[in-house]
Amino acid sequence: HKYLNKFPDDFLWGAATAAFQVEGAYDVDGKGISIQDAKNGSNKFHDTSVTADHYHRYQEDIKLMKELGLKSYRLSIAWTRIYPDGKTKNQKGIDFYNRILDELIKNDIKPLVTIYHFDHPQCLQDAYGGWYSREIIDDFVRFARTCFEEFGDRVHYWLTICEQNNVVLYPKLIGGFLDGVDSEKWRFEVHHVMTIANARVIKLCHKLLPDSKIGPCVGYSAIYPKTCKPEDMLAALNQEDFRFNYPLDLLCFGRQNKLVKRYLEERGIDVVLSDEELLEMQGVNPDFIAFNYYQSAVAEFCPLQEEEKQPEFNLEGKKGNMSFSQFPGLYQEASNPYLERSDWDWEIDPIGFRIAFRKLYDRYQLPLMVTENGLGAYDTLEGNEVHDQYRIDYLEKHILQMKEAINDGVEIIAYYPWSFMDVLSTSNGYSKRYGFVYVDRSDEDIKELKRYKKDSFYWYQKIITANNI
Ligand code: BG6
């Protein structure tokens, strides 16, 4: 058979989490308060203080990873454990990640480390507005350098910043937005600061750890035009440039995307990179592009005279009540009548996943890693079991399309479903679950936090063993 009937031998079957969503112990062993911790209690679903208590239960959790057969595990390092006040190193925080990394290596699981996952120190937010200021670049590079020096002997795969593009698209949800600042000015200022930070950290990693691989991570969606009207197709291209290509063109090609540059100029937004900064963007050479894929999106023509609308998430996080984003002159989002939806109204689109691979690979010609993909759903514990056939269906359809994409000629090196175990959702607490491992707690009652293997755990275990679907 001339087409792939197995995945490549060194394919990294993984699973992912992020520090603030899984560790708990938010103020233990000298840890500082992150912007995520500072939001605790802002709604009844958000509380980082215990989450899955992975900080104290990592041995049990890594044992489960081993049983699942993971080749790799994606974790993030909490900046506030390593630099609680942004400036002073905390050995106890370093010790914690040493314990985790040693345990992973002992179990033959390759760590993939996200350096930044939505959780910078609140004190840096207070001091200069977090990512809205270029001051954060030195603080971030210092933190990254410490990660490379302390953990680089065991970590050979690194991600710089998780979903820079979504941080700027949803400033209030995950970005550390500053009230009173124009949202477009904030958006592109943060984009530029993060892109320079990305470039410096990638170059530093290449210098300090020449055998390691490092890349940026974007939240990606296939974008469809609402109709075959040429205006809608143009809107779809605009959305791609605006949401994905802008940061990736800078990092991979060292140039500012012209469409977005024009958009900024037309709005008189003076946050364009200086010549010196553009020079820094040359020769960054990420080793791969990582992307997170949950759903696709639809673009519709949006005339210049419309008033801009930002999406509002209600507490349930459902899109049903959410106004779609609008960027006059570029595009507005619309819904897709052809797709099924999750419990949270996220479109389920496995073919869009294949399209995402093709689009990213065509443009950047770099190996691709999927660092998140999965289904957030209400799960029910029945006895000791969770029958999450809906999650199996979602993942199965997506993995089949990933295999098709490899057959289409795309170089794909890793796949990390979100999430290894149930984690605190970014806006929906513990009722929206993604894990292969059920963590027994609710938003109101943390119970004993016992772990249960869901049906999807046994299903994924078989795929990894067969290296095939
Ligand atoms: C990704 C984030 O954007 O989406 C994760 O990197 C997040 O941190 C995931 O958990 C799913 O989003 P949510 O809101 O359902 O938790």
pLDDT band at 316 (very low <50, low <70, confident <90, very high): low
Candidate of 117, 372, 391, 431 to mutate for ligand 1, largest count of ligand atoms within 8 Å of Cβ: 372
Tell me, using a 6 A CB cutoff, whether residue 426 lines ligand 1. Answer: yes
Quote the pLDDT of residue 176: 86
Tell me, using a 6 A CB cutoff, whether residue 116 lines ligand 1. Answer: no
Cα–Cα dist 429/275, whole Å: 44
Helix (H) or strand (E) holding 68: helix 54-68
163 is catalytic: yes
pLDDT band at 321 (very low <50, low <70, confident <90, very high): very low
Measured CA distances, 469 to 8, 392, 460 (Å) = 13, 12, 9
Q: The pTM is what?
A: 0.96
The mean pLDDT of 192-204, rounded to a whole number, is: 97
Other C-beta atoms lying within 10 Å of the C-beta of residue 40:
13
Atom of ligand 1 nearest to the CA of 425: 16
- Which of 163, 189, 300, 404 is catalytic? The answer is 163
Quote the pLDDT of residue 311: 64
Tell me, using a 6 A CB cutoff, whether residue 175 lines ligand 1. Answer: no
Condensed to tens digits (0 to 9), the pLDDT of residues 51-90 reads 999 999 999 999 999 999 999 999 999 999 999 999 999 9
Cα–Cα dist 11/110, whole Å: 12
The mean pLDDT of 434-452, rounded to a whole number, is: 97
CA nearest neighbour of 217 among 161, 298, 262, 256: 161
| Ligand 1 centroid – CA 425 distance (Å) | 6
Whether domain 12-231+288-296+344-466 has CATH 3.90.550.10: the reply is no
The mean pLDDT of 308-320, rounded to a whole number, is: 59
- Say which residues have a Cβ less than 8 Å from residue 421's Cβ, sequence separation at least 6: 17, 22, 52, 54, 61, 64, 435, 436, 437, 438, 439, 451
| Ligand 1 centroid – CA 426 distance (Å) | 5
| Ligand 1 centroid – CA 24 distance (Å) | 17
Tell me, using a 6 A CB cutoff, whether residue 19 lines ligand 1. Answer: no
Atom of ligand 1 nearest to the CA of 419: 10
Cα–Cα dist 316/431, whole Å: 10
Residue 251 pLDDT exceeds 90: yes
Tell me, using a 6 A CB cutoff, whether residue 96 lines ligand 1. Answer: no
Strands 451-453 and 437-439: antiparallel
Tell me, using a 6 A CB cutoff, whether residue 162 lines ligand 1. Answer: yes
Per the rule left: phi > 0, alpha: psi between -120 and 50, beta: everything else, 161 is beta
Quote the pLDDT of residue 2: 61
| Inter-residue long-range contacts of 436-441, CB under 8 Å, 24+ positions, other chains counted | 436/15, 436/68, 436/460, 437/61, 437/64, 438/379, 438/381, 438/386, 439/52, 440/381, 441/50, 441/52
Instruction: Please provide the DSSP assignment of 411-441 as one string.
Output: -EEEE--B-SB---BTTTBTTSB--SEEE--
In three-state secondary structure terms, 291 is strand
Tell me, using a 6 A CB cutoff, whether residue 74 lines ligand 1. Answer: no
Atom of ligand 1 nearest to the CA of 219: 3
Candidate of 418, 419, 433 to mutate for ligand 1, largest count of ligand atoms within 8 Å of Cβ: 418
448 is catalytic: no
Lookup result for tokens 């058979």:
1
Atom of ligand 1 nearest to the CA of 432: 15
Atom of ligand 1 nearest to the CA of 118: 8
* Angle, helices 455-466/389-407, rounded to nearest 10 degrees: 20
The mean pLDDT of 33-47, rounded to a whole number, is: 92
Condensed to tens digits (0 to 9), the pLDDT of residues 407-430 reads 999 999 999 999 999 999 998 899
Quote the pLDDT of residue 448: 97
Tell me, using a 6 A CB cutoff, whether residue 90 lines ligand 1. Answer: no
Instruction: Please provide the DSSP assignment of 364-399 as one string.
Output: H---EEEEE----B----BTTB---HHHHHHHHHHH
Other C-beta atoms lying within 10 Å of the C-beta of residue 153:
11
The total number of residues shown for the chain amounts to: 469
Spell out the domain ranges in the chain.
12-231+288-296+344-466
Condensed to tens digits (0 to 9), the pLDDT of residues 337-356 reads 999 999 888 999 999 999 99
Measured CA distances, 52 to 224, 307, 420, 451 (Å) = 37, 42, 11, 9
- Mean pLDDT taken over the chain: 94
Cα–Cα dist 20/117, whole Å: 8
Tell me, using a 6 A CB cutoff, whether residue 432 lines ligand 1. Answer: yes
Residue that wins the pLDDT comparison between 271 and 246 = 246
CA nearest neighbour of 190 among 135, 238, 144: 135
Q: Do 150 and 98 meet the contact criterion of CB atoms below 8 Å apart?
A: yes
- Which of 189, 300, 333, 372 is catalytic? The answer is 372
Q: Which two tokens stand for residue 339?
A: 């797709």
Tell me, using a 6 A CB cutoff, whether residue 372 lines ligand 1. Answer: yes
Quote the pLDDT of residue 309: 73
Cα–Cα dist 285/277, whole Å: 16
Residue 174 pLDDT exceeds 90: no
